[in-house]
Structure 1
Amino acid sequence: MAARLAGGTALAMLGLAGLAGAAAAEPLKVGIIEPMSGPDAATGELYVTAARYGLEEINRAGGFNGEPIEILLYDNGGTAAGTVDKFKQAVADGVRVIFQGSSSAAAGQLTADVRKHNLRNPDSRLLYINDGGAALDLTGDKCHFYHFRFQAPAPMLVGPLVEAMSEAGELGTKVYSINQNYSWGRDMETAIRERAGDGGYEVVEATLHDVAKIQDFAPYVARIKAAEPDTVLTGNWSNDLLLLMKATGEAGLDVRFGTAFLDQPGNIANAGETALGHYLASTYNLAAGDEAFPEDYKARTGHYPVYLEPRVVIAARAFGKALEAVDFGGGAIDVTPIALALEGVTLETAMGPVTIRKEDHQAVMPIVVSRVEKGAPYPVDGTDMGFAPVRTIPGPEAVYPVQESCEMQRPG
């Protein structure tokens, strides 16, 4: 009798353990590391909003591994040091996938931290979805298997921008280059110089300035005016572009700009009507796509997707499509199969297909060149101006060659 009771108790305990195991599927924890304080907080909040929207789409479709994805937010203050601290916190919290993109400097720190962690902890590797860091070295000497970039670096933006402006007869023969003095800005200056021959222009002056430290761009506008360029090409973003546009508007500077981030909220308002005729090269334009996405985005977030937000949603949707190809049966999560699935994703977008180049994990994305016009669809900043699409360049035509410095070690 005692043996039967003991056996019955053991079977009951095994049954309870089985039920507990079935109910305790490992949730996928995704960390979003962005500046939610400091000078770049407005940009960081857009990244957070878009990443959450895309990840919540996955949850509305059923989540992953039997559980909703857990979304954790980390404020890095926009600094590399803050990124180090928040990365450590994310690891301690059990995060397995990180979304980040608001700074190439932070991206450089984060991708190095992910690489080191994965080498030291092969049983709990992390996956880094870079949805904004555009420095070329991230897919060059810093490339690694667990980093995927969903952003166009300088050559992918400058080439289409110069080509479209030249074809429209609005580039001219004298170009002024102004950029932030760090990896992304230096990449932009190099790309601007390298395209001079194809674009038929001379770089009359090139300026690199401190990042997020200049409060008044009037002296830089005066230098631009003195150089008498036909066009200013810039990769500036966040406050450094907002304040540059403010200074050009106040000075009434009659020079056409070719930009990478002019669609950032506030730029058109700051520039006023001097922005008319300015150009933008980006990875998305709402006016060139369907209406379902922007309307749903507005319904869920309170505003139409702007600036970087469509690109971040593309990154999240590509990630979600990769998850559909992986099944851990509720068990332990391994990001290596997810990364392998992500390599094979083709995501259809309104701009055209987005794929991943396996050699360096650069997303091959269409580039849309737009011009600021009155009466354009989706006017911005409470003005009657918006971004009218001029030309869309398919991803394979826009993408730059794989860099020789990328020596990706694939998992064995």
Structure 2
Amino acid sequence: MTFALKPLNFAVAAALSLGATAAFAQKGETVKVAWIDPLSGLMAPVGQNQIKSFQFMADYFNKNNPAGVKFEMVPIDNKLSPVESLNALKSAIDQGVRYVVQGNGSGVALALSDAITKHNERNPGKEVVFINYAAVDPDLTNSKCSFWHFRLDADTSMKMEALTTFIKDQKDVKKVYLLNQNYAHGQQVSRYAKELLARKRPDVQIVGDDLHPLAQVRDFAPYVAKIKASGADTVVTGNWGSDLTLLVKAANDAGMNNVKFYTYYAQVTGTPTALGADAAGRVYFVGYGHHNMGGETAKLMSEFKTKFNDDWYTSATYHAFALLSNGMAKAKSTEPLKVATAMEGLRFKSFNGEVEMRKTDHQLQQGLYIAVWQKTDAKNSYSVENTGYTFAPVKAYDAYVSSTPTSCQMKRPSVQ
């Protein structure tokens, strides 16, 4: 089923496409959504931005959505810990929550997906659905896929497909240093970068490949010294949060202004401010959106900044409620098993083109962008973190470019 949707008119268009009876079968029902991510520690600024983003989008969809439901966020601090996350999941279930969102840390996502799958097997009729908005380990939609898990972000391999397709044509990239966090995502970034660069640019040398502890390093000067000593002209990193903010700060402090950074998360809280003017033209990120999308998306970004003096960059929060509300409307129910079944294969037009929740593995298929840090101008006017600089798009890729095959063998429960 395809929904022809436009920003700010998404809910109305979907309701019309489904028909009034289906669209409002659950009108007025409150759906609790637990947000399980960090609100303390080094990654707290990221979590604080993202819970505001979810609450902002819940308020937006509560005004009008195809299922006619009301979404209520239940935020729980997991301290970026898988163990704390499982405690948070139990607390959420005890509060009657049937939908969970999480994104910061694939280790956490893997723990939650496994726990939710086991809970649902033991508790028929009390199932929980997991919406993963940012944890990008490919295993979550391959060898460890689950019927109850749906991913909204492009996974590590998909983003690296797009990034290396772009790098392939950058003739100044000759010596690459890989620096990543030592957990599932960072390890996968290193692996896919080496594999795909070898295939697309066999002339490129990998002159360094380091992993460091997640959210523990406070001084990246030793790593920057190694990058400089290697003679690298390019750094490829999947770092996020404080691990990227402190890395670029150390690079700036060391005067490393002749090296380009190709990142996954340079747009995330704190990093843009750390980039400053010296990084203009040298720092790129790959993602499913950027700060200068225009149209109604620009209005949402402006409203978010006015309300919070912050940037709305996790636009997967939009997809979370679009997917849930469309799934509930199609299912004519808020029961997780029926909704999960309805969400499989859903397609709709969004801010980054037509997207599809692929049925075979529950991985959202969507277009990706490459954007570069630069001074704002007439065409790219959004000032990120009020710096006077922005991420301007330099390349857009249709979904097929970054789409990757899956080994998922989905085990589906029967719908009663």
Same fold, judged at TM 0.5 (above)? yes
CA contact (8 A) 2:45 2:269 kept: no
In structure 1, the residue matched to 2:59 is 56
- C-alpha displacement of 1:63: 8.7
Code of the residue aligned with 2:273 in structure 1: it is A
Q: Whole-Å Cα distance in 2 between the matches of residues 178 and 187 of structure 1? A: 12
- C-alpha displacement of 1:77: 1.3
- Point out the more displaced range, 387-396 or 346-355: 346-355
SS in 1 for 2:126: coil
Q: Whole-Å Cα distance in 2 between the matches of residues 299 and 142 of structure 1? A: 41
CA contact (8 A) 2:180 2:212 kept: yes
Whether 2:156 is the aligned partner of 1:154: answer yes
- C-alpha displacement of 1:24: 12
Code of the residue aligned with 1:267 in structure 2: it is T
SS in 2 for 1:114: helix
SS in 2 for 1:85: helix
In structure 2, the residue matched to 1:87 is 89
SS in 2 for 1:219: helix
Aligned counterparts, 1:112-123, within 5 A:
112-123=114-125
CA contact (8 A) 2:291 2:384 kept: no
Q: Whole-Å Cα distance in 2 between the matches of residues 177 and 303 of structure 1? A: 30
CA contact (8 A) 1:351 1:392 kept: no
Identity of aligned residues (%): 31
* Structure with larger Rg: 1
Aligned counterparts, 1:89-104, within 5 A:
89-104=91-106
CA contact (8 A) 1:54 1:317 kept: no
- Point out the more displaced range, 116-125 or 34-43: 34-43
Q: Whole-Å Cα distance in 2 between the matches of residues 135 and 230 of structure 1? A: 27
TM-score, structure 2 normalization: 0.86
- C-alpha displacement of 1:381: 3.0
In structure 2, the residue matched to 1:269 is 273
Q: Whole-Å Cα distance in 2 between the matches of residues 258 and 193 of structure 1? A: 14
- C-alpha displacement of 1:151: 1.0
1:286 alignment partner, one of 273, 282, 291 = 291
CA contact (8 A) 1:28 1:64 kept: no
In structure 1, the residue matched to 2:346 is 345
CA contact (8 A) 2:311 2:385 kept: no
Q: Whole-Å Cα distance in 2 between the matches of residues 148 and 62 of structure 1? A: 20
- C-alpha displacement of 1:78: 1.3
CA contact (8 A) 1:196 1:203 kept: no
In structure 1, the residue matched to 2:9 is none
Code of the residue aligned with 1:336 in structure 2: it is L
Q: How many residues align?
A: 380
Q: Which runs of 5+ in 1 are unaligned?
A: 1-22
Q: Whole-Å Cα distance in 1 between the matches of residues 369 and 165 of structure 2? A: 12
- C-alpha displacement of 1:321: 2.0
CA contact (8 A) 1:265 1:380 kept: no
In structure 2, the residue matched to 1:313 is 318
Aligned counterparts, 1:7-406, within 5 A:
27-61=30-64, 68-170=70-172, 172-197=173-198, 198-200=200-202, 201-253=204-256, 254-277=258-281, 278-290=283-295, 291-306=298-313, 309-328=314-333, 333-375=334-376, 376-402=380-406, 404=407, 406=408
Q: Whole-Å Cα distance in 2 between the matches of residues 62 and 238 of structure 1? A: 32
TM-score, structure 1 normalization: 0.87
Deviations 1:325-365 (A, max 9, x none): 2324xxxx421111122113223123211111111100102
CA contact (8 A) 1:28 1:69 kept: yes
- C-alpha displacement of 1:62: 6.3
- C-alpha displacement of 1:159: 1.9
Q: Which runs of 5+ in 2 are unaligned?
A: 1-25
In structure 2, the residue matched to 1:8 is none
Code of the residue aligned with 1:259 in structure 2: it is T
- C-alpha displacement of 1:300: 4.7
- C-alpha displacement of 1:262: 0.5
